[in-house]
Structures are given as C-alpha cells and as structure tokens.
C-alpha cells in the first residue's frame, strides 16, 4: 500500500511539475528522505520494543551530535573522525540515560525521553554553535558529494545502514529479543530474555543513531544552528508508523520505515509544488498523517 501511495505521489508531482522526473530531482528527494530515514533508525528500534516506547529526544540528541562535530572540528578534516567518535559515544550515553530512566526509574518513555531531550537542549544552548564557520569538507563530500552513477554519498550511506539494521533485527539474538519484548514482555522474560539489558541497549542505540543522523544532517545542510534536528522528532515517529510498525511494538521492520520516510518526503514535496499556503500545508499534512496513524498505528488486523 505504501509503495502504491509513493508511486501515486510521484505521478501527482510529475503532473504538477512537468520535467520533475529527472535523475537529479529524484536524487534530491531521496537525499531528503535519507536524512529522515537515518534519524528514524533509533526510533524504529524503540517503537519495536513496545510498551508505548517512543524516543522524543531524537531531535535534541541529533542536534547535540552535530554541535559537537561542528565545534570540535572547526571546519578541519583532521579532527573529524575524533569528533565523530565523540559525538556517537555521547549519543550512546544519552540513550543509556533514557533507557535507565525507563527501566530502573519506571518512568513512561514519553516522560523520560522528553525530559532528557529538554536537558540536552539546555546543553546545546550552553555549548552553543559558532555563528560563522565551516563544516569539514570530508563530511560534506561524504554526504553530498557524488559517489557513483551520479548519486550522492548519503544514499549509499543510507543503504549500508539499512542493510546493517536489517541484519541486526533479523539475524542476531538482539533482534529476536527485541521483537519478543515488543510482542509480550512476560513471555520474553520467561523465555530468558534479560529485559533490562535489552531495553537499555535499545535506547542507547537510538541515541547512537540519532547522533549519527545529526552529523549526516549537518553534512547535508552544511549549516549549523541550535535547532538543527528539532523538527525531525515527530516525523521520525510518523515515518516508523506509516511504514507499518505497530505503536504497540513487536511488529515492523526498518524497510517499512524507509518507505515511510520516502512517503513523507514526497508528500511534503507535492504540497510545496501545489503552492499550498503554509497553514494549508500544515492542515493537509496533519490530516493525512492522522489517517496513516489511524490505519497503521492501532491494530495488527488493519495491516
């Protein structure tokens, strides 16, 4: 169904904007979808874990990861790998904090991740971002440079990450444990799954991929500001749900999330092409998203 909707939106886009269906235009759309798709990796894992798991700190952690890379590198390639490693490590630790609050303090995921997100946003303001500066050329080339077949590097990065996540979910004990947690936690516990360990690890991975997504986003926009990733938090949830992952957990895949990210990107592009006013775009976007949430977000039988 979702692929049919993507194809339908492509046709509408092509009719509304003759000459749209060129390699460069499609590649630009795919770049935007790739950023959202990478940021939604962690959200996919958290939602699959069930028990109303949602990570509302994705946008803040992504911004924090980008701020660290931007400030530490100061536009120099020689510092990039170290800054990237630090950014990913900090994202992982912040994810651990989320997981610890959910598991050991028994805070609802919405509350815990919202609180951590707010804390991180404060750290971002404290650290700040340089008003002027440059993004490391290595990062820009990796994300926006052309690698092969006229396609930008971010698409290849997305493909490699997607393959890795698919292997993680379907070929490892962690993936089986995650689906078991989302389906029935008591049954998973009785089967020997260490609930606390896998839940904390899931939120930690969400923080890791959020930070990575923030760095990729920095390479994409090539501009730093203190709310860089904030606008992506809700779209990551919608991309996961529109892709067929149940909000109750235990059912879904990252391939579906990728399709959801593409669908949202196409929808935004069509609304812009039709020159719908800002308020109209927001209303139309909200109504359509509510429709997807109603269809995919509730019961397994609807899928």
pTM here is 0.90
Q: pLDDT digit string (tens) for 43-52?
A: 999 999 988 8
205 pLDDT more than 60: yes
231 vs 88 pLDDT, higher one: 88
Q: pLDDT digit string (tens) for 70-114?
A: 999 988 899 999 999 999 999 999 999 999 999 999 999 999 999
What does the mean pLDDT of the chain come to? 88
3-state secondary structure 116-160: HHHHHHHHHHHHCCCCCCCCCHHHHHHHHCEEECCEEHHHHHHHH
Cα 125 to Cα 56, 62, 122, 128, distances in angstroms: 18, 14, 5, 5
Three-state DSSP state, 273? helix
The pLDDT assigned to 98 comes to: 97
């Amino acid at each position: 169904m979702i692929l049919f909707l993507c194809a339908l939106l492509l046709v509408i886009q092509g009719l509304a904007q003759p000459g749209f269906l060129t390699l460069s235009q499609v590649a630009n759309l795919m770049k935007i979808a790739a950023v959202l798709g990478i940021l939604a990796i962690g959200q996919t894992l958290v939602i699959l874990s069930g028990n109303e798991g949602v990570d509302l700190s994705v946008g803040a952690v992504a911004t924090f990861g980008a701020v660290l890379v931007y400030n530490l590198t100061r536009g120099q390639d020689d510092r990039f790998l170290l800054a990237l490693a630090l950014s990913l490590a900090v994202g992982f630790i912040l994810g651990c904090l989320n997981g610890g609050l959910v598991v050991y303090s028994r805070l609802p995921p919405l509350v815990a991740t919202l609180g951590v997100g707010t804390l991180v946003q404060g750290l971002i303001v404290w650290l700040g971002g340089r008003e002027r500066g440059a993004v490391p050329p290595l990062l820009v080339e990796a994300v926006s440079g052309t690698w092969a077949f006229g396609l930008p590097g971010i698409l290849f990065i997305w493909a490699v990450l997607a393959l890795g996540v698919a292997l993680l979910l379907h070929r490892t004990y962690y993936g089986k444990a995650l689906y078991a947690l989302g389906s029935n936690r008591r049954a998973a516990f009785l089967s020997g799954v260490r609930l606390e360990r896998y839940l904390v690890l899931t939120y930690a991975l969400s923080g890791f991929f959020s930070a990575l997504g923030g760095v990729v986003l920095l390479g994409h926009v090539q501009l730093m500001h203190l709310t860089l990733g904030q606008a992506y938090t809700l779209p990551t949830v919608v991309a996961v749900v529109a892709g067929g992952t149940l909000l109750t957990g235990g059912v879904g895949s990252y391939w579906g999330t990728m399709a959801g990210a593409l669908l949202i990107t196409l929808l935004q592009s069509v609304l812009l092409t039709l020159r719908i006013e800002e308020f109209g775009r927001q209303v139309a976007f909200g109504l359509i998203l509510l429709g997807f949430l109603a269809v995919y977000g509730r019961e397994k039988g609807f899928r």
